Amino acid sequence: MSPPPALQLALVALVHLTLTNAATSFPDFQLLNVEQVLVGVLTQPSPLQTSEYNHHELLNVTESEDQWKWKLKLIHRDWLSTENATVSRNHSRRFHARIQRDVKRVASLLLRIPGGVIHDGEAAHGVNDFGSDVVSGMDQGSGEYFVRIGVGSPPRSQYMVIDSGSDIVWVQCKPCNQCYKQSDPVFDPADSASYGGVPCSSSVCDRIENSGCHAGRCRYEVMYGDGSYTKGTLALETLTFGPTVVQDVAIGCGHVNQGMFVGAAGLLGLGGGSMSLVGQLGGQTGGAFSYCLVSRGTNSSGSLVFGREAMPVGAAWVPLLRNPQAPTFYYIGLSGLGIGGIRVPISEDIFQLTELGYGGVVMDTGTAVTRFPTIAYNTFRDAFIEQTANLPRVSGVSIFDTCYNLSSFVTVRIPTVSFYLSAGPILTLPANNFLIPVDSVGTFCFAFASSGSGLSIIGNIQQEGIQISFDGANGYVGFGPNVC
């Protein structure tokens, strides 16, 4: 299915998700059920043991002669049991741990994207090295959402981090000279009949930045500024999605890894490069995938779906932008921001992706909190403060500078927050996606921050509960119409 010539605009009623045409009015205010949110915080489900989910329970795969659709369940990292139980069940500690990961993630992205290096609070406009095939994750904070797939022959079920900002699929492998803790047994290539190392002379090896050669086999090595890294052998291996088997997927087999994925065996790169899973599947899925990130504090799971049949009818489609200087990332056009139905006075130029690859707006599954350039964030935040003057303010928490004490409220009336997308649609966020609890006693914060650069990043908190679809072949990103 291709997006229609004219953008389809969807209004999803009764579910907090509003997608409208710029000329259509939408509610200026909405209600946040404070009591319900705090009950969710206090009754956060206990982390799951690996044994509680088997491979087939996390997969729902359908095939037809010319259309493939692979659906995997997405679970949040808080469901896994490898973290300290006190931390995983204490909302305040869990929040601070998430923000610490997020800060590292954003710092990593800023180093990889032109003009992203922070200098005196703003982007430095020098030329930066960029590796389109760099593995994202480890201690960068990308380990927020997990899927379960089979690796090797016979398939070994493994939790994998999904990351739209990475172009490599990799797993920890035996012999494991240095590995972090994971939920499942470490993958042993010696037990897989389909494992095959990639020769140094292979064109696949040439597509990896920082590749090397050892004993005739292609080696990869990815290092980060904070000391995180993964090193190992590039191989062709079989991946299994339920009953569907995909052969000869290029994966990294990491023998030396440092970082913290909290239970995951490795990373499933969904970026725009040729070495990501999406890029390697090519014609099998038509470059199409869709995800719905489960909302925090619920027992439900989200979904990750591959294939052209995953493209929904009734979504609001906007052009997918590409940055030749950063081909891994998915950019969208953003023309402005709104608070309470009023467009905030911010120049559209602030969100533009320049010809040199600076600025722009990236959709990222690994970043939690949406970031905007400082001047845009300050204006946006001030407009929200102006329209919430009746709410009791408290001191900022962590990276959030706009917080409220809502402990005495059952529900609270707050202004809407909207993204004015290029080509016309307006995405009005659910209240839970921008005013979030940072503890269990009623402190809520405006969940946005400054990027300290010219780059804007739409994070997963703002994406939660909304179906988001990428049609790489036709160059569109879709929002809605479904929710999760």
Known catalytic membership, residue 163: yes
Known catalytic membership, residue 129: no
Distance between CA atoms of residues 77 and 287, nearest Å: 26
Maximum pairwise Cα distance, the chain: 69
- Secondary structure class of 483 (helix, strand, coil): strand
Dihedral angle computed from the Cα positions of residues 393, 396, 397 and 399, in that order, rounded to the nearest 10 degrees: 140
What is the DSSP track for 36-68? Answer: HHHHHHHTPPPPBPGGGS-TGGGEEEEE-SS-E
CA geometry: angle 70, 474, 266, nearest 5 deg: 40
Q: DSSP strand E in 202-343: where? A: 211-214, 217-223, 229-241, 244-258, 266-269, 288-292, 302-306, 316-321, 330-332, 334-339, 342-343
Distance between CA atoms of residues 91 and 86, nearest Å: 10
Query: Residue 202 half-sphere exposure, CB side, CA atoms within 13 Å?
Result: 20
What is the DSSP track for 8-26? Answer: P--B-TTSS-EEE-TTS--
Q: What is the distance, to the nearest Å, from the Cα of residue 118 to the centroid of all Cα atoms in its chain? A: 22
Query: Alpha-carbon torsion 355, 360, 365, 369, what sign?
Result: positive
Residue 51 CB contacts under 8 Å (≥ 6 apart), including other chains: none
**Catalytic residue from among 102, 364, 439, 471:** 364
CA geometry: angle 14, 18, 23, nearest 5 deg: 130
Distance between CA atoms of residues 32 and 228, nearest Å: 39
Distance between CA atoms of residues 89 and 111, nearest Å: 33
Cβ atoms of 75 and 332 within 8 Å: the answer is no
Nearest to 186 by CA among 178, 174, 196: 174
**Catalytic residue from among 133, 139, 163, 439:** 163
Residue written as token pair 């049991």: 81
Residue 475 CB contacts under 8 Å (≥ 6 apart), including other chains: 319, 320, 322
Distance between CA atoms of residues 110 and 140, nearest Å: 12
Nearest to 354 by CA among 187, 13, 113: 113
Tell me the catalytic residues. 163, 364
